[in-house]
Amino acid sequence: MFTVGFALREYGAFHYLFSNENLNVYIASTSFIYMSPPLLELANYHVLGRILYYVPYFSPLHPGRVLTTFGALSAIVEVLNAIGVSYIANQALPESLTKLGQILMKLSLVTQIVIIALFCLLGGTFHWRCARASIRIHRVSAPLLTLYISTSIILVRCIYRTIEHFNVLSVRHGPGVDLTTLSPIVRYEWFFYVFEASLMLVNSFLWNWRHPRQYLPENYNIYLAQDGVTELEGPGWKDDRPLIMTMFDPFSWCEPKTQKQRPFWETNGYTLVTAGSNGAKDRHYAEAEAV
């Protein structure tokens, strides 16, 4: 999508005189460029889910719900993006639809920032639990570090787009407008190259260079035992609820206690034992007989 969007943008740089054909090219270019970053976020959601599958006992929610829940939220952002951009870019539409497009774009950009913040909170909670239990193996810390960098890059891009959009909305149209009074972020193209094109290119290279498959097992049923060293193959984390329920209740708060099953990792033969003196607790692992 980025390739198509930037190719159309390059074409539009030499075909900028107003015509229906050039207008359609501009709308398509803007739409493709705006719609691509949420798909990169979708990849991040999938990676975090695989990390949670690998260390399931510290996961704040069912690992499979990371992708479905945040994916559904991203789908909403995508729809708002697509409709908003198309309405704003097409100046031939009535003013009411143009204003509606501006509202949808504002909503999509702010929503995207909120989603990123919630995603960081989820990943940070998991990371804190691992650090508290002294699980700092490279297989977990490396993809988490890459995930943090990627999410930060997308967040910077989203903040830039939000600032740019609000500056565009403040522009007064009509004859006699002094273009030198426009915000630099609107007047100069280099802001786009630095905070959009370059950042998204770096993000794409980042995940190819530090691909999660270098650290995480291919089979998501393989997980790290509580000793922080041994890898075991479990039955997988199952959720028999309807898909719609898992999306609206990813933390299983509404699930009856009678239906909840004992986590499979509690019977794997490894038990976390804490002991300490003078109020200080140390982490120790003792191998127990499987139940």
List, for residues 61-76, the tens digit of each pLDDT value. 888 888 888 888 888 8
The residue-averaged pLDDT of 96-124 equals 88
- Rounded Cα–Cα distance for residues 216 and 291 (Å): 28
pLDDT at 279: 35
For 233, which DSSP code?
E
Has residue 242 been placed in a domain? no
**Domain around 81:** 2-234
Q: Where is average pLDDT lowest: 113-127, 188-202, 269-283?
A: 269-283
For 182, which DSSP code?
S
Please state the domain count of the chain: 1
Has residue 244 been placed in a domain? no
For 25, which DSSP code?
H
Pick the residue with more confidence: 12 or 56? Answer: 56
pLDDT at 246: 65
113-153 residue pLDDT tens: 899 999 999 999 999 999 888 888 899 999 999 999 999 99
Instruction: Assign residue 198 a region (left: φ > 0; alpha: ψ between -120 and 50; beta: otherwise).
Output: alpha
pLDDT at 266: 65
Has residue 145 been placed in a domain? yes
pTM, entire model: 0.78
Q: Cβ(145)–Cβ(180) under 8 Å?
A: no
Q: Where is average pLDDT lowest: 10-19, 108-117, 170-179, 198-207?
A: 170-179
Residue 281 pairs in a beta bridge with 276
Res. 205 pLDDT band, cuts 50 70 90 = very high
Rounded to a whole number of angstroms, the distance between the first and last alpha carbons of the chain is 51
- Rounded Cα–Cα distance for residues 229 and 251 (Å): 28
Has residue 180 been placed in a domain? yes
pLDDT at 258: 54
Label residue 109 exposed, middle or buried (CB < 10 Å: 0-12, 13-18, 19+).
buried
Has residue 107 been placed in a domain? yes
The residue-averaged pLDDT of 23-44 equals 82
The residue-averaged pLDDT of 149-165 equals 89
- Rounded Cα–Cα distance for residues 65 and 67 (Å): 5
Helix (H) / strand (E) containing 281:
strand 280-287
Has residue 257 been placed in a domain? no
Q: Which residues does 179 contact at the CB level (< 8 Å), separation at least 6? A: 187
What is the tally of helices (H) and strands (E) in the chain? 9, 4
Has residue 265 been placed in a domain? no
- Rounded Cα–Cα distance for residues 98 and 90 (Å): 8
- Rounded Cα–Cα distance for residues 162 and 180 (Å): 21
pLDDT at 264: 64
Has residue 79 been placed in a domain? yes
User: What value does the mean pLDDT of the chain take?
Assistant: 79
For 229, which DSSP code?
S
